[in-house]
Homo-oligomer: A and B are copies of this chain.
């Protein structure tokens, strides 16, 4: 199995609400999908998919998670890195304005960076972080190499 990833799929309770968060709230552009059923966004070389939570659980043959918002943390989190601590705060503010729930305000963290967390309308956690030891490239990709 090659060292790569094709898609992250987020199970959602209300596709219309989830699409409104990512498209109208965050300004993302829909790449494709099936109206009312599934939505795909191109994020660099991978995809983010939004798919009904029940359908996803059934597809994976897993038990449906607790449907109360914020109660469905399964131990996976997404991270979005930015160029400065100020950009962390600005991004968390933007996400909140778009309808996200702030889980943790931006703060200095023990590993030497600065980060906070928000949950999207379905409770999926996004860390927003500034990591001064990694390199964010102009195309949006990240590398573990130290910045020049």
In the complex, A53→B29 CA distance in Å? 32
Contact with B along A97-130 (1 / 0, CB 8 A): 0000001100001010001010000111101010
A68 to chain B, nearest CB (A): 11
In the complex, A72→B71 CA distance in Å? 11
**Chain B contacts for A142, CB-based, 8 A:** 6-7, 45-47
In the complex, A62→B119 CA distance in Å? 10
- B29, B57, B61, B127: the one within 8 Å of A9 (CB): B127
**Chain B contacts for A31, CB-based, 8 A:** 144
B140 touches A104 (CB 8 A): no
8 A Cβ contacts from A18-61 to B: 26-29, 31-32, 34, 40-49, 53, 56-57, 59-61
B5 touches A8 (CB 8 A): yes
The residue of chain B having its C-beta at the shortest distance from the C-beta of A76 within the complex is B76
In the complex, A42→B145 CA distance in Å? 11
A48 to chain B, nearest CB (A): 7
Q: List 30 A-B contacts (CB under 8 A).
A: A1-B91, A1-B94, A2-B140, A4-B44, A4-B80, A5-B48, A5-B78, A6-B79, A6-B80, A6-B142, A8-B8, A8-B76, A8-B77, A9-B78, A9-B79, A31-B144, A44-B45, A45-B139, A46-B141, A47-B142, A49-B79, A59-B104, A59-B115, A60-B104, A60-B127, A61-B104, A65-B74, A74-B75, A74-B123, A74-B124
